[in-house]
Structures are given as structure tokens and as C-alpha cells.
Structure 1
Amino acid sequence: MLMNFKKFKKIRETSAITHRLSALHSCSCSDYIGYNYFHELFFARIVAISHFFSSCSAKNRSHASDSASKSDILDDRKRYFSGIVESVSKEKSLDYNSNSWGGEKCNLVGFDESDGSEEAEVGKSEEDSDDEDFRVLSSFDRNRERSQASRRIEVDENDLRHPLVREISRLIDRRATWTPKLESELKRLLRSLKPSQLCAVLRVQSDERVALSFFYWADKQWRYRHDPVVYHEMLRILSKTKLCQGAKRVLRLMVKRKIELWPEDFGCVMVSFSRAGHVSKSLQVLNLMQRAGVELGSSVCNTAVNVLVEGKRLEKALRFSERMKVVGIEPNVVTYNCLVKGYCERNQVDDAIKLIEEMPQRGCDPDKVSYYTVMGILCKEKRIDELRGLMVKMLEESKLQPDQVTYNTLIHMLCKFGHGDEALEFLRESEERGFHIDKVGHTAVVNCFCQEGRMDSAKDIIEEMLLKGCSPDVVTYTAVLNGFCRVGMVDQAKKLLQQMYKHGCKPNCVSYTALLNGLCQGGNSSEAREMMNMSEGWWTPNSVTYSVILHGFRREGKLCEACDIVMEMIGKGFYPSPVDINLMIQSLCRVGRTEQARKLMEECLKKGCAVNVVNYTSVIHGFCQNDDLDSALSVFDDMYLNNKHPDAVTFTAVVDALGRKGRIDKATEMIKKMLHRGLLPTPVTYRSIIHHFCQHKRIDDLLKVMDKLLPRQSFKTAYNAIIEKLCCFGHLDEAYKLLGRVLKTASKIDADTCHILMRNFLKNDNPVGSYRVACRMFNRNLVPELKLCEEVSKKLISQQKLEEADKLMLRFVEHGHAPPKSRQAVLHSSNGSP
């Protein structure tokens, strides 16, 4: 009885110890390891406890002593804690970029290895680059059975409209004003989302960067892990962007989470790198596929071929398709269509047609896409006879009957390139063959005629549509209405607007905006404004409508009305674009109302409009043009307060204004600030600096500034400009001193600089100065222009400087050149020669 009580007490003590260890362990795991790792250690702890109880029961059965039992408990505790520490150390050693893939090491950092530049890649020989890019194909298993089915993540429309998805999207849109309360609410909603709903949240984001940031944020939340479907969807979204680094990071995360990788995932990463312009890195993804043990299929190979075609490397794409056969992957119609597209993009239509003809011999029949691709380039070049011949081949050789889709495609492509008459011919031909071209095809022809100003032809098509029972829709009428406005027939456009109501077609915002644009183009912006004010109940103006009237008032010089339109836009929730704001600022500054332009910009900034650096630069330039330098510098300082960093154009405007005011020291300080911020001067910056420094004879300061601005190899051009500018201001002595300094320092200066100075000395009736420059040129083994020296010699002779003229002649003779003819004539006349 006493023995059983001691046994029960020992078990109670053991349970208390286990409970305390559990509490301590759960805190440490939740803080340092994470939810998943905590569960693994929790089950390990249960196993350790079970071993402990089994050992205790064995010891009790063998009547072991109390001291021995206590020592066993301490040993078990020691082993348990050592197991925890070992597990924690292992988990902490896992880096975010770890590359363990099911026990096999997969080096995803290989993206950045042997990166090089695209220029270096172009410099390689074709054979070497082929071996490097295509070597991976030979390492895949040729005999492995390949699945050609492409897996896609289907998101139900109900998921896109789900209230939970909308609420999370609303919270994401308010991310700039997140509070701890909103973030906690988003965390709570996140755990309620199904994988398909989370995919819908990612898909509805207008900015893929926002979707990627939300993906990362959700992955870091405690007690949450993305479903594998979410990773696949994120890669699919990133494949439509240039965010290749984000796609690479998502792929790394999938490796870390040990998520099954699909071939399509690698294809998405390839496309993303291709969009970013990294064709070589895109092909390196195939190496990662091989290391990961992912099966290579035709879909990924087709992606690689398309990447090469999009990267303007058709020859490599052709060789890649040949290598596919070597590893047992037969090119399919998608592969050949990519190659056909590559030929068409290079205007090699004959080669594209030849490839289509060879496709049946290669075991792959062309489809309509193959022919449509070639037809597109034929339509662009207006090669109608060849287009018809291709349609015959399509029918006879490929047994593909031209259908309504074929004719619709041809009509749209011809209209796209402005060939309306040819499009109308195919429309007539399709109707003769019994095909019904809908209002979309007719509208394409109508719009093409309207773009060309052929309004009578467009009206005939409209009447023909009404006779056929194919009622024109609002798009058709809007095309005609816009055409009338383009040719200045605004009255006809108004009549057409009334006829639309009679035919049961209600004009939309685009229709009215086209009419308002015609009124504004004709100088009737006030009438357009009245029509917009009467729009209540008929149609709702949008930002384009307001922008049309805004620019109409601006072109007419009614800037007050234009500013009122801007304020009305903002009041209605439509924000003018930075281009609209900039045009308004320039118009106000042009008439000297710079302060009003500044107030307009500040008001737009307060209302949340997208004011950019260009807008600030326009205001600064306006103040500088009005000689209000203090206001310009004030706006310049305000840019930093509003987190708008000036660019090189902004600095140039300020430096030019400071130079005009003679504040050279302040201009020098501004140039140093520009260089400190890593901004490269523009050619306008150089011209402005040289002009103002030379005007005030600050040559030493100018040379110091140019030494910081220009690399050594560009000094020759700078010295030419400086000497020329000094000559323009009449500072010939300073120009000659600068020339002497340059020659003494053995700088690379060409003969053009010396010729500039010689001509300016001649203009100022100083041939001796030109003579001295010519002598310096001879000393530097530079030969002056013969015609220029003839003019110098004539001037010297006319001023009785015969000694200098003789020396100039001797210099030419010493260098193996004939002396100036003017001096020879003088010598002949002095010797009495006829």
C-alpha cells in the first residue's frame, strides 16, 4: 500500500515537471522556431515522456531506490533539453535561401552565377553559347514518360466576388494608412480564407507588386502557411511582369517549404526573366529544373523557344528545337508557331511559309494560328495576292477551310494597318461565301474609313448595315462621330448624336467626349463646357472628358477657366495626370502668372494628385524666366520637404538662373550638390556653366568645375567650347592664355581649338595673334589650315608685318608644305615679276 502511494506521488511529480517543461517549451518555440517547428518538437516531447514513464514503471517493478529514480529523472530532463537545443540550433541554421530539395541539394543561387552582361554574351562564339544554353537538354532522361497536360489554377467567379475577398482587397488598398487594429483585422481574415479565395485576392490586385508584397506578408504570419496552390498562382501572376527577382524568391520559398514543383512553375520564372530582358538567365532555369528532378516536357521547351524568339534570337531558337528531338521531345504545333512568329517578326515571310509547308513532313500539321501569323505580316505589307495564295494553300494542303473567324481576322488586321478598301473586299467575299460578318467587323471597316477622313464611305457602310439588319451599336456610331469631329464637321456630329437616339442607341461617355473634343478643337470650349454641365441624367463625364475641356480652355488662353476645371475635376474625384498639370503650369508661366502656377501645383498636391519632379521643374523654370530667383530657390527647397528629389534638369534650370544673376559661387555650390547626389549633367548643363563662367572671366573656377564634371577623355571637347565661348565674349587674351596653359600641360587638344582662336583674332583685326597661335601649332606638330593661313598672311602683309609673314612661310616649308599663295605673290611682285 505504501509502495503504491510512493509510486503515485512520483508520477505526480513527474507530471508537474512535464507541465512546466511544456509551458517553457511552448514559449521558446513560439518565439524562436515558429508554429510548424513547435509541433514537431511537441510530438518529440510526448515520445520522450512516454519513454520516461515506461522506464519509471520498469524501475518501480524492480524496486529501484528513490535516489536512482531521481537521477534517472534528471538524466531524462538533461537529454530532453539537449534534444530541444539541438533541434533549435538545426532550425536556426536553416537559412531563408537554403536549397535542400527532398534531400538533394539544389543550388538556386545559380541564377546569379556566371551572370555576366548581355553584351558579354553577344560577344561569345555561337557554338560555345549554344553548348552552354542547350547542354541541359542532354541531361534529361530520354526514356521517361512525359505528361503533356498543362496544369492551371482555376479561380471561380464566385471567389472573385466573395465578400471576404472584397474586404481583404479593401484593407490592402488602405495599406498606406494601416494601424495595428487594421493589421490585426487582416490577420484574422487571412486565416478564414480558402486557398482559392486567397488566389482571387492576389489576382484582383491591379499592381502585381502589391500582390507580391501581400504574399510575403501573409507567409510571415504566425500559425499560417500558404497552400501550394497559392505559390503556383503567384508565379503565374509574376510571369506577366518583369519582377523576375520576385519570381526567383517565390521559387526559393517553394523549395524551402518542400512544395511540389510543376514544370509550369519554371516556365513562369523563365517568362518573367525574359520580360525583364535577361534571356540568358531565363534559359538557366532549365538547369534548375534538371537539378530539382522535375520532368522536362514540351510545354517548358515551348516556353524556352518563345523566350528566344521574343529575345530576337531566332537562330538559337531553331537550334533549340532541333536539340529537343535529340532528347526525345518532339516539337509540336506550338513550337513551330513560335518559330513562324520569329520569322514574321524579321519580315522573312518566305521562310515562314516554307516552314509551314515542311511541318507535315516533320510529323506536325499546321493549324490556323500558323497561317494567321503569316497573314498578319502580309496584311501589314498590303501583299493581297500572296495573302489569297496562302488562303488557297491553307485549304488545299492543310485541309483548313477558311471560316468566319478567318475573315474576321483578316478584316481586323487589314483595318489595323489602314487598308480599308482591301478589308471591304474581304468583307464582300465572306458574305458571298455565306459567312455573316457581325457588327464588330463592320465597325472595324467604318473606323478605318473615319481615320482616313473618308466619311462618305463610312456612312455608306452604316446604311448597308441597317439594310442587312445588322444594327450599328454605340461603338460604330462613336467611330463615325469622332470622324466627323476630326474633319471639322461638328454640326454633322451633332445631328448624328440625335439620330443615335432615334435608332435606339444611347450615346455613352465616349460618344459625348468625342463631340466635346471636336468643339474644343474648333475653339468652342465654352459651348463644350455648357454641354458637359447639362450632362446630368444623360451621361456621366469622366477624367478624359474633363481633360479635353481643360486643354481646350488652355489652348484658347482662358487659363482661369482651365484652373476652375482642374478644381472641379478634383472635387468630382477625378485627378488630373502629371502631364495635364504640367501643361497648365507651362501655360501659366508663359504668360507670366508663375505664382498662380505655384498655387495650382500646391493645391493639387494637397488634394492628393500625382505631382512629380517635372511639375516642380516647370514652376522653377517659370520663376527663373521671370528673374524671381528667390521664389525659384524656395520651390527648390520645398521639393525635399515633399519627398520630390530634383533631377539634372532641375539643377540645370537653377544653375542657369544663378549664372544670369552673376552668382557664380552659388552656382558652383549647386553643381557640387548635384554631383554629390550622383546626378550626371546634361549637355545643356555644360553649355550653361561654360557660358556664365566665361562671361564673368572665372576661368580658373570653370576649369576646376569641369575637372569634376568631365572624364579626362572629354576635356578636348570642353576646351574647344570654353575657348570658343571666350572668343564670343571678346575675351581673346584669356582664351590665348588658356591655350598656352593647355599646351604646356601636354593635354590632348586638336587643331580645331586653335583654328577657332585664329579666326576670332582675325575678326578683331589682330593677325599677329593668329600668327602666334599658328606658331604654337607648329611647335606641337600641328599644321594649320592652308586657307586660314593665307588669310592671316594677307592681313600681316596689309599691316606691313612682313617678317611675321616670312616666318609663317618658312614654317610651312619646314613641314613639307607649300607656302601660302599670298606671300608668293608678294615676293614675285617685289622681284619685279610680271
Structure 2
Amino acid sequence: MCINPHHHTAAANLLVPITTATINTQRVNLCPLKFFFVRSSSRSVADYNIVLQSLCRAGETARALEIFRGEMARDGVAPTIVTYNTIINGLCKSNELGAGMELFEELVKRGHHPDVVTYNTLIDSLCKAGDLEEARRLHGGMSSRGCVPNVVTYSVLINGLCKVGRIDEARELIQEMTRKSCDVLPNIITYNSFLDGLCKQSMTAEACELMRSLRDGSLRVSPDTVTFSTLIDGLCKCGQTDEACNDDMIAGGYVPNVVTYNALVNGLCKADKMERAHAMIESMVDKGVTPDVITYSVLVDAFCKASRVDEALELLHGMASRGCTPNVVTFNSIIDGLCKSDRSGEAFQIALQVYNRMLVPDKVTFNILIAGACKAGNFEQASALFEEMVAKNMQPDVMTFGALIDGLCKAGQVEAARDILDLMGNLGVPPNVVTYNVLVHGLCKSGRIEEPCEFLEEMVSSGCVPESMTYGSLVYALCRASRTDDALQLVSKLKSFGWDPDTVTYNILVDGLWKSGKTEQAITVLEEMVGKGHQPDSFTFAACFGGLHRSGNLAGTMELLRVVLAKGMLPDATTCSSILD
């Protein structure tokens, strides 16, 4: 059989990328494609749709558009709405939403009528991209083009609105659905999205009411596992663990799954109800639900954070007896707990288990071990870990460098800490406010007060906003060095950056000024403190009592004592001693 050379070339050009994509993705059946090329002289729109769908599924959207605008046009094959939908869907899934919207405008201009699939695809993508206004505009324009939104249209839009906290609009859409025909009544997916939105906005009372309506049948939709799990998770995250654990929650034939139990365990742990969370494992087993690695990891992490590392280790050993294998996250929690409990030797033994189990330590593992080594003063080991981390092609981050800087500063090796800061800059890792806080505190503690002042300028210029802890360390260092005038100038300069001193900073200033005998300035700062809405505390009054006592101002001391007692505050033993003396 003679094949037209033109068609043969076109088919060959088309076949290569399709075949490659098909083999690579293993998602496309080659039989229809072979049939398509055999009948290349009479390609139909259905044939083209199959090819375009195959390309789009393989992520070859550029080639799909090329065929759509090239071969189809040359063959005189007019695209249908299915053709447009296929390419628009492919573009959206390839994160080419802009191109998808352009194709939508094109199909409208050419006189095609977008159907509900077209709208649903674009509305879903717009919601995921956070463009809710354009999604709402498309939804609003459907009826003018003779297209009726279906339950998917509404559910996608409601889900998008709920994810950004626009609950009132989502509620209005549900009410709009119920006012229309039964064809667009909300389904359980719609209600699950709305329930999730309510929980994320801490509107648990309305969420519970919605659950009651679903369970009593008044909404003609029954809750599913996702519904129960979502509500239980939401209640736990809002601290309402008693309500989440209520037996009524699982009545009516609902069987919780491991996801539901994990939400309960996590919520109980965060509420410091450790024993109850631990007991949940036995409850799971009794109900035929097997705890998974997430269940154990949540518990292990909670025990470690509560400094109950031995109990966490017992859980780790107990996992194996239930056939559950710990992962790197589980081990990281144990290693972190041991390091923070000054048991770095045991932490490194656990780290060896990670290697022995053929698990790959991640960046978190190395950061924890480096911090543990620094805390133990073993900087040689910390340096070796750092080098190993780099050798494994793991880019050190701000947490890695922060651990090194913190350890060096606490060990009095401030110069080495400064070198680490310079290394961060060379490697393109910007310091965060915690890094600067640690270094400023370390420099101030070592008496190097001028250098932190340079950091403040550097922080502001780099967009890293200093916080009260940063300033407080520096103000304290200046006052301790009897440089109260410099401290006042610094605070004045910081105010020009928009910073408002907190109670701690005011207390440091007041105390420093009283001790320097600058009574009038101390009173001025105290008045400013009160004027800014900061309530004097026991430290403030102690500083004032000390200053008045040293100046021999007995009348002022007694008047201040009267004010303190009127506020219901009792001077501590040191303050009383200074008054009596």
C-alpha cells in the first residue's frame, strides 16, 4: 500500500514524542494510537482527541497545542468542546493556568459553548491558585452562557472559599444550592469541605451543629469517615479534646479509622493529656485498628518534648512488638529528646541505629545532632557532623548554623561564632532573627557592646526585623556598663525604626537609671512606660524602691509603697529589706 509522503512525515513527527511519552509514563494505551496512524489519511476529531489526551496526560502540553493549532488545522478537522476541555485540563494540571484561561477565551470567541466540565476545570484550578475572585466571576457567568453549575462546581468553589477563611460566602453558596433543584443539592464532599473550613476558623459550635444535622438525616446526606475525622481533628486543634473523645461522637455505627485516632492522639498530646493519649493505643487495638508509625511518632515526640525520654524509648521498643517500624521522624524525636536531656551519648547510639536500619538521616537529624554536640561542648564532633552533612549533599540551613553559633556563644567562643555568621553569608544562607539574637547576646555578655550595634543596621537593611529580645540584650549590656546615656540614645534610635519598647526593656532602663543616680530620667522613662500602656510589675517597683532608698527619699519610698499596696501587689523580701534599712 502506498502511503502519502506528506502524511507519512507528519505521522512520523507526531509518533516519536507520543511513543516516548507513552513508554515513560506507562499511562497510555498504544493500540488506539497505532490505529490512528494506520488511518492517517482520514483522521477524525475523535482520533485527535485521543492523541491530545495522551499528550496532556504525559505533560506534553506544548506538543498538544502544536498539534491542535497545526496538524488539526491542516487536516481541516474542527475541534469540539471535548478537544478544548482536554487541552485546558492538561494545561491546568501542568500549572499553566494562564494558557488555559486564554484557550477558554479563544473557544468562546470562536462560537463554542463551554460546558460544565470546562468551567469546573478552570474554577478548580483558580481556587487552588488562590484566585477566588476570578473563580467567582466564572461561576457567576455560567448561566448567561446557558451552562448550569452542578454539585462539583459548587463543591470546588466552596472548598476554595473555606481554605482561605471566607466562610460566610461558602455558607451562602450552600444555601443557594438548597434553594435550587435537587440536581444541585450539596453532597457529603460539599459538607466535608464546609465542615473543615468551620473547624479551621475555630467555629466548632457550628461544626458540631452541622454534624448533628447530617446524622439526624435532615440534610438527606450521611456523614462518612472523612466527616468524623475532620470534626474530631478540628475539636482537638481547638483544645476541645473532651468533646472529641465523647462516645457519642462514634455512636451510630461509625468505626473510627487510624486517621481519626491519630487526630485524637495528637490533640490529647498537645493538651498535655499524655496518659490518656498513651491509653488510646490499647483502645485502637481493642477496636481492631492497628496503630501506625504516625500514631507512635506523635506520642514519642510528645513524651520527648515533655522531658519524659525514657517513656518515649519504651514506646520506641514497643513499636516492634506490634510490627510497626519507626521511621526517620520517630528517631529524630528520640535523638532530639536525648540531646536536650544532656544524654548526647545515647543520642548518637540511636543515630547509629538509623544507619544500621538502612534509614537515611535527613537534614533534621543532622541539625539535632549538631545542636546536641554543641550543647555538650563537643565542637570537634559538631564540625565532623557538619562536614558529613555537606558530603551527603545536604545544604546546611539557618537551623544548622544557628545551632553552631548558639553553642559557640555559650562556650564563650564569640569570635568563632562571628566566623560562622560570615560563612552563612558566603554560602547564601541569610541569618534569621534568632541567629542575630544569639550572637548579640553572646557579644554583649563578652563585653563587646559596639559590634551588636552594627548588626542592628545590618538586620534592618536586610529586612530581618529585630525583636525585643535583640534590643533588650543590648540595652541591658549598656546599662550594666553604666552607659545609660548610650542606652537611651539607642532606644530613641530604635523608636525611629518603629519599635515600641516592651515592659522588660523599660524595666532595664528604669533600673539602670536609678542605679546611676539619674532620678529625673528614671521617673521620665517610668511615666512614658505607663503612658504607653505598659503596667509596672514587681521588677519595676523593686528598681524604684532601690533607687528611692539609695537617694534617701523616704517620703517618695513610702508614697510608692502606698501605690504598690493599693494595686494589690506585695513587695518581695528584698524590696522589704531595702525599705526597712
Say yes or no: TM over 0.5.
yes
Which residue of the partner structure matches residue 443 of structure 2? 658
Residue 691 of structure 1, CA deviation? 1.1
Counterpart pick for 1:705 among 490, 499, 504 = 490
Which residue of the partner structure matches residue 332 of structure 1? 184
8 A Cα contact 1:159 1:196, kept in partner:
no
8 A Cα contact 1:263 1:295, kept in partner:
yes
Whole-Å separation in 2 of the counterparts to 1:798 and 1:288: 81
Q: What is the DSSP-based 3-state SS (H/G/I as helix, E as strand, rest coil) of the residue aligned with 2:147?
A: coil
Is it true that 1:410 corresponds to 2:280 in the alignment? Answer: no
Out of 251-260 and 612-621, give the one that drifted further.
Answer: 251-260
Whole-Å separation in 2 of the counterparts to 1:215 and 1:255: 15
Whole-Å separation in 2 of the counterparts to 1:565 and 1:417: 25
Whole-Å separation in 1 of the counterparts to 2:367 and 2:123: 40
Which residue of the partner structure matches residue 584 of structure 1? 369
User: Residues 570, 720 of structure 1: CA spacing in aligned structure 2 closer, same or farther, 3 A cutoff?
Assistant: same
Residue 700 of structure 1, CA deviation? 3.6
Counterparts of 1:91-110 in structure 2, within 5 Å, are: none
8 A Cα contact 1:624 1:632, kept in partner:
yes
Is it true that 1:295 corresponds to 2:147 in the alignment? Answer: yes
Out of 311-320 and 665-674, give the one that drifted further.
Answer: 311-320
Q: What is the DSSP-based 3-state SS (H/G/I as helix, E as strand, rest coil) of the residue aligned with 1:410?
A: coil
Is it true that 1:639 corresponds to 2:503 in the alignment? Answer: no
Counterparts of 1:381-392 in structure 2, within 5 Å, are: 382-384=246-248, 387-388=251-252
- Aligned residue pairs, count: 472
Residue 769 of structure 1, CA deviation? 9.2
User: Residues 417, 624 of structure 1: CA spacing in aligned structure 2 closer, same or farther, 3 A cutoff?
Assistant: closer
Which residue of the partner structure matches residue 320 of structure 1? 173
Can you list the C-alpha shifts for 1:139-180, whole angstroms capped at 9, x where unaligned? xxxxxxxxxxxxxxxxxxx999943348xxxxxxxxxxxxxx
User: Residues 742, 545 of structure 1: CA spacing in aligned structure 2 closer, same or farther, 3 A cutoff?
Assistant: closer
Which residue of the partner structure matches residue 517 of structure 2? 733
Which residue of the partner structure matches residue 724 of structure 1? 510
Is it true that 1:231 corresponds to 2:88 in the alignment? Answer: yes
8 A Cα contact 1:656 1:688, kept in partner:
yes
Residue 677 of structure 1, CA deviation? 0.7
User: Residues 701, 553 of structure 1: CA spacing in aligned structure 2 closer, same or farther, 3 A cutoff?
Assistant: closer
Aligned residues with identical type, % of pairs: 16
Residue 218 of structure 1, CA deviation? 10
Counterpart pick for 1:601 among 386, 405, 426 = 386
Counterpart pick for 2:313 among 480, 498, 521 = 521
Q: What is the DSSP-based 3-state SS (H/G/I as helix, E as strand, rest coil) of the residue aligned with 2:370?
A: helix
Q: In the alignment, residue 594 of structure 1 is paired with which amino acid?
A: F
Residue 581 of structure 1, CA deviation? 1.8
Residue 643 of structure 1, CA deviation? 1.6
Is it true that 1:667 corresponds to 2:452 in the alignment? Answer: yes
Counterpart pick for 2:24 among 136, 139, 164 = 164
Counterpart pick for 2:467 among 656, 666, 682 = 682
Which residue of the partner structure matches residue 283 of structure 1? 136
Q: In the alignment, residue 139 of structure 2 is paired with which amino acid?
A: L
Q: In the alignment, residue 303 of structure 1 is paired with which amino acid?
A: V
Q: In the alignment, residue 254 of structure 1 is paired with which amino acid?
A: L
Counterparts of 1:101-180 in structure 2, within 5 Å, are: 162-165=22-25
Q: In the alignment, residue 724 of structure 1 is paired with which amino acid?
A: V
8 A Cα contact 1:333 1:366, kept in partner:
no
Q: What is the DSSP-based 3-state SS (H/G/I as helix, E as strand, rest coil) of the residue aligned with 1:452?
A: helix
Whole-Å separation in 2 of the counterparts to 1:635 and 1:596: 16
Whole-Å separation in 1 of the counterparts to 2:223 and 2:153: 20
Which residue of the partner structure matches residue 366 of structure 1? 220
8 A Cα contact 1:624 1:654, kept in partner:
yes
Q: In the alignment, residue 163 of structure 1 is paired with which amino acid?
A: I
8 A Cα contact 1:586 1:622, kept in partner:
yes
Which residue of the partner structure matches residue 254 of structure 1? 103
Residue 652 of structure 1, CA deviation? 1.0
User: Residues 250, 667 of structure 1: CA spacing in aligned structure 2 closer, same or farther, 3 A cutoff?
Assistant: same
User: Residues 290, 734 of structure 1: CA spacing in aligned structure 2 closer, same or farther, 3 A cutoff?
Assistant: farther
8 A Cα contact 2:21 2:58, kept in partner:
no
Q: In the alignment, residue 456 of structure 2 is paired with which amino acid?
A: I
Counterparts of 1:6-155 in structure 2, within 5 Å, are: none
8 A Cα contact 1:758 1:770, kept in partner:
no
- TM-score (norm. length: structure 2): 0.60
Q: In the alignment, residue 737 of structure 1 is paired with which amino acid?
A: Q
User: Residues 232, 649 of structure 1: CA spacing in aligned structure 2 closer, same or farther, 3 A cutoff?
Assistant: same
Structure 2: gaps (5+ residues):
1-17, 27-49, 73-82, 233-242, 266-275, 301-308
User: Residues 347, 224 of structure 1: CA spacing in aligned structure 2 closer, same or farther, 3 A cutoff?
Assistant: farther
Which residue of the partner structure matches residue 761 of structure 1? 547
Whole-Å separation in 2 of the counterparts to 1:374 and 1:478: 19
Whole-Å separation in 2 of the counterparts to 1:234 and 1:582: 40
8 A Cα contact 1:375 1:387, kept in partner:
no
Structure 1: gaps (5+ residues):
1-157, 167-192, 203-213, 239-245, 360-364, 389-406, 421-447, 463-474, 487-516, 532-538, 775-782, 800-834
Can you list the C-alpha shifts for 1:496-539, whole angstroms capped at 9, x where unaligned? xxxxxxxxxxxxxxxxxxxxx999925999xx9xx9xxxxxxx9
Q: In the alignment, residue 512 of structure 2 is paired with which amino acid?
A: L
Residue 385 of structure 1, CA deviation? 9.8
User: Residues 300, 602 of structure 1: CA spacing in aligned structure 2 closer, same or farther, 3 A cutoff?
Assistant: same
Whole-Å separation in 1 of the counterparts to 2:502 and 2:343: 50
Can you list the C-alpha shifts for 1:528-556, whole angstroms capped at 9, x where unaligned? 9xx9xxxxxxx999756875896698689
Whole-Å separation in 1 of the counterparts to 2:63 and 2:489: 51
Whole-Å separation in 2 of the counterparts to 1:635 and 1:385: 54
